[in-house]
């Protein structure tokens, strides 16, 4: 299926590693221009070089999404370089799950700033450019936002707020031709798990097997980053032209609700 993404411009936060990076590769393969950010300059440079080696039109920006000025610079740079914005993927994030009594005010502030405030701010900044020719926003969330469990805060709370943002904004932005959807991740291979395996001195395959077994994923394995990229590329594309306000699970059947 031709996703009709050729020469479209997509901005991906946290595109320098893991799921975001897999998405950038997929978008380049589809002929889209890609702007991405991250904080670590080495990872950014490595990703930029890999994408350009595949023939991609790429803008790589060192930016912390929790900094207002960085977000504005990221969006301005994207528009300056590509002259348009067709897709925005709020993907930057990390795991954060502990019992309430172990969390400090700073933990809450940090998580909400990274997972909620950054996404709302970037949506505000990008909406006008997206509406010029119609566009698509994808918020990358986690299934804990639908089924918050014991010891799952602050992430499950931030992600539930991301769900509300997705639905509310889909109603507001729909009349301007902008679709807004969320992808609810279960457990998917990515950089964060590579770092965890290295820190624990265990093999990545063993970690993924343990995760699949321990969490009881019905499909019996963790997801692949390319499967994430396929789904998000579809949601960004005109092929998903009538899909808006949806929160799609990418979890091998793990989530207890649809």
- Where along the sequence are the contacts to ligand NAP (CB under 6 A)? 13-14, 16-20, 37-40, 43, 63-66, 91-95, 114, 140, 142, 185, 187-188, 190-192
Least Cβ distance, residue 200 to ligand NAP (angstroms):
16
- Shorter beta-carbon distance to ligand NAP: residue 19 or 28: 19
> 135: which strand partners?
178
For the CB of residue 196, give the shortest distance to ligand NAP in the complex, in Å. 10
Closer of 133 and 166 to ligand NAP (Cβ) = 166
Q: Which is nearer to ligand NAP, 176 or 203 (CB)?
A: 203
Which C-beta is closer to ligand NAP: that of 5 or that of 138? Answer: 138
User: Cα dist. 241→133, 177, 179, 235 in Å?
Assistant: 13, 9, 8, 8
Which residue number, 56 or 93, has a Cβ lying nearer to ligand NAP?
93
CA distance 191 to 167: 29
Shortest separation between residue 26's beta carbon and ligand NAP, angstroms: 14
**Distance of closest approach, residue 188 Cβ to ligand NAP, in angstroms:** 4
CB of 132 to ligand NAP, least distance (A): 26
């Amino acid at each position: 299926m031709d996703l009709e993404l050729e020469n479209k411009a997509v901005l991906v936060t946290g595109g320098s590693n893991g799921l975001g990076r897999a998405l950038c590769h997929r978008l380049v393969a589809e002929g889209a221009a890609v702007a991405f950010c991250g904080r670590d300059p080495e990872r950014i440079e490595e990703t930029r070089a890999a994408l350009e080696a595949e023939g991609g039109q790429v803008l790589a920006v060192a930016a912390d999404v929790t900094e207002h000025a960085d977000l504005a610079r990221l969006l301005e740079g994207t528009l300056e370089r590509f002259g348009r914005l067709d897709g925005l993927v709020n993907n930057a994030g990390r795991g954060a799950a502990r019992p309430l009594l172990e969390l400090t005010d700073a933990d809450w502030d940090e998580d909400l700033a990274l997972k909620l405030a950054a996404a709302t701010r970037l949506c505000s900044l990008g909406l006008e450019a997206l509406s010029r020719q119609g566009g698509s926003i994808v918020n990358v969330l986690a299934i804990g936002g639908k089924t918050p469990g014991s010891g799952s805060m602050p992430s499950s709370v931030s992600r539930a707020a991301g769900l509300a943002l997705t639905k509310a904004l889909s109603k507001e932005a729909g009349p301007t031709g902008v679709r807004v959807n969320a992808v609810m991740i279960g457990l998917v291979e990515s950089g964060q798990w590579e770092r965890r395996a290295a820190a624990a001195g265990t093999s990545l395959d063993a970690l993924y097997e343990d995760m699949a077994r321990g969490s009881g994923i019905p499909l019996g394995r963790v997801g692949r980053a390319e499967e994430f990229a396929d789904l998000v590329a579809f949601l960004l594309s005109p092929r998903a032209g009538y899909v808006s306000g949806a929160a799609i699970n990418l979890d091998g059947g793990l989530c207890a609700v649809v």
